[in-house]
Each structure stands twice: as C-alpha cells, then as structure tokens.
Amino acid sequence: MIDYPAVVQYYEPWWIQIIKAIVIFAIILQLQPILIVGERKLLGRFQGRYGPNRVGPYGLATPLADIIKLATKEQFRPDTSIGWMFALAPVISVLTAVGAIAIIPFGDTQDIFGTDVGLYGIDVSVGPLFVFAMGAVAFYGIMLGGFSSGSKYSFLGAMRAAAQLISYEVAQGLALVGVIMTSQTLSLTEIVHAQEGMWYFIPQFLGFLIFLVASFAETNRAPFDLVEADAEIVGGYFTEYGGTRFTSYLFAEYINMCVVCLIMVTVFFGGWLLPFGINPPGWVDPFVVLAKTSVFLIFFIWIRATLPRLRYDQLMSFGWKILLPLATLNTLATAVIIVVTD
C-alpha cells in the first residue's frame, strides 16, 4: 500500500459555504466573457486577421455588446415546439455545468480569519463520479432541446449528440481509472496530494492523451463538433433557439470546456502544486490552477483553428475502434504494474 498524508476532516460553517457558492458563480460569470473574447482574438490571429477590435479598448467590451444584443432580443419558439420543455432544456445545461465546477479544488484548506476554508465548493469522496453524473444529466439538456424544438435539424443534432457523448464518455471514464488506481482515492483533493512526488501525466501519459481527445468530443469542440455542424445541419440541437436561451447553451458549452480543462489540471498536472518543490503561499494556489487551465483552453482554441471537422463515420470509428481499446489497455497495464510493484 502507498501511504499518503492523512486528510484532516473538518466542517465549514454554513455561511462559508454560501460565500463560496457565490464566489464560484461570480468567477465563472467573469471567466466566460474573457474566454469568448480571447477565443475570437486568437482565432483571428491564427487566421491572419485582427479579430474583435472595435467595441471598447482592443475590442475587450465585445462580449458585453453581445450579451446586451442577445438579452434584448424577443423570445420566440416554433409553433411545433413543446413550450415547457423548450424553456427547460437550456436551464438543465447551465445548472449541470455550474454544478460540476463546485467540486474542482482550486487550492488546499487554508486558514482564513481563524476559520479552515477549503478552496473548493465541496470535497466529495466520489469526485470523478460526480462529474460524470453531472455530464449524464447535462445530456438531457441537449436531447430535450433538440426534441422539443419541433425541427428536423435540431432533432438530428440531438441524435448525433446522444451517439457521440455515449461513445466518448466510456473512453474518457476509463482514462481516469488508471489515475484512480494509482492514487487509490476518488477524492480530487487527495488525488492532488498524491501527485506531490510526480504529476500523473508522466506515468499516465496515455490516459492523459485519451482523456484530452475524448474531452474534445464531450464538449462538442472542433474537430468533433458534429453535434452543431453548421455546414450540415444549420446549428444542431439549438438551431431554433435565440436570445437568452441561445446564450444559455453557449454559456454551458464554454463552462463545460473549462470543466474538462480543470479536471485535466487536477488529475494529471498536480492541481495547485508547482514543480521542483516550489511551495508558494496558499493564496497563490487558485492562480496556479487558473494558469494551468488557461494553457489547455488556448490549446482547445488552437485545435479549432487548425483541424477540419471529421465525417460522422470517422468520429464513431475513432471512438470505438481506437480510443476505447487504448483506454482499456491503459487500465489493464496500470493494474498489472500496481500489483507487481506493490
């Protein structure tokens, strides 16, 4: 057995939990406009143009203009749609995306004004399972949106989403099994503590690559954006959405991209830990996590500007014939190594 530092159990006051919930939601609300304008500027540079540069200094107020434009649009829906389901679907997508952020550890437990406060929403003993549970519920936001729209293009996008998410979620989950077996815990904070000697992307490099590729499909990002596929099915499951409801789907997509990047940082790149034994003050921990996460977010944008969209048969074949066998092989190899070296 591998001995890890014991995790001190403590209970936070209810008012601390409320403050943390407000801070997490406020941070997410601030990150999304920054990420949107950052993506548009980076895509512009990748494609040899300037990107947004008219609204505000250096175009930084562009997201605010977009929000005002979408928020002031009239709400509408097709006559063939199912009203309550059409309105509920984007709400499900947003709530599940924000809920997944709650278990991401941005730092260790810190003493703040004499009170022990964990720099995370909650530290559940089944961290990765909680994330996948949120993802499973978020799936209904996409399915209900496509089904309730009463549009063939929306329904086709929802069916694509069903097949794509099921196909790649299996490989994505198996990619984390190697980390879980190595750390012998499902708590994300304990997984970070277990990487004090070596970040897991080194011994679990294959698992990291599988999780990274599967994350592109799980978040419907290029080159796996078959769910939206504007050149084929107009916009997929949210074709009939506009105004704030469309914004909700866009908001959920970017949050999910942040979630998978934060999970990669936590389980493969040591979370708030720095290399070479560097041990900064506790207040630096969240900035370390955000800095690492920004690297992966830029990589997601880089891939979008670089690779073309796959055909649907290529998407399915790659998931079932390549990623899934490799993820299974990685799990078996990790189990054998652990048994032999224990």
How far CA 81 is from CA of 155, 248, 272, in Å, comes to: 11, 18, 46
Question: Can you tell me the distance from the alpha carbon of 153 to that of 228, in angstroms, rounded to the nearest whole number?
Answer: 10
Q: Both tokens of residue 22?
A: 């407000």
Judge contact between 294 and 302, C-beta under 8 A: no
Q: What is the 3-state secondary structure (H, E, C) of 169-195?
A: HHHHHHHHHHHHHHHCCCCHHHHHHCC
What is the sign, positive or negative, of the torsion defined by CA atoms of 23, 29, 32, 34? negative
How far CA 195 is from CA of 4, 52, 144, 208, 213, in Å, comes to: 10, 40, 40, 14, 22
Judge contact between 176 and 260, C-beta under 8 A: no
326-336 b/e (C-beta count within 10 Å ≥ 16 → b): bbeebbeebee
DSSP string, 213-277: HHHHHHTT-TTS-TTT-HHHHTTGGGTT--HHHHHHHHHHHHHHHHHHHHHHHHHHS-TT--STT
Nearest-Å Rg of the Cα atoms of the chain is 21
Question: Can you tell me the distance from the alpha carbon of 256 to that of 93, in angstroms, rounded to the nearest whole number?
Answer: 9
Query: What values do phi and psi take at 296, rounded to 5?
Result: -70, -35
Neighbouring residues of 266: CB distance < 8 A, sequence distance ≥ 6: 104, 105, 188, 191, 192, 289
Q: What is the 3-state secondary structure (H, E, C) of 140-160?
A: HHHHHHHHHCCCHHHHHHHHH
What is the sign, positive or negative, of the torsion defined by CA atoms of 252, 255, 260, 263? negative
Q: Which of 166, 180, 199 is nearest to 323 (CA)?
A: 166
Q: Any idea where the domains of the chain sit in the sequence? A: 75-341
pTM of the predicted structure, to 2 decimals: 0.91
Burial of 306 (0-12, 13-18, 19+ CB in 10 A): exposed
Question: Can you tell me the distance from the alpha carbon of 188 to that of 184, in angstroms, rounded to the nearest whole number?
Answer: 11
Question: Can you tell me the distance from the alpha carbon of 38 to that of 310, in angstroms, rounded to the nearest whole number?
Answer: 25
Judge contact between 279 and 306, C-beta under 8 A: no
Judge contact between 268 and 260, C-beta under 8 A: no
Question: Can you tell me the distance from the alpha carbon of 146 to that of 287, in angstroms, rounded to the nearest whole number?
Answer: 38
**pLDDT at residue number 135:** 84
Task: Give the chain's residues under pLDDT 70.
Answer: 1-11, 231
Question: Can you tell me the distance from the alpha carbon of 142 to that of 236, in angstroms, rounded to the nearest whole number?
Answer: 10
Amino acid at 324: L
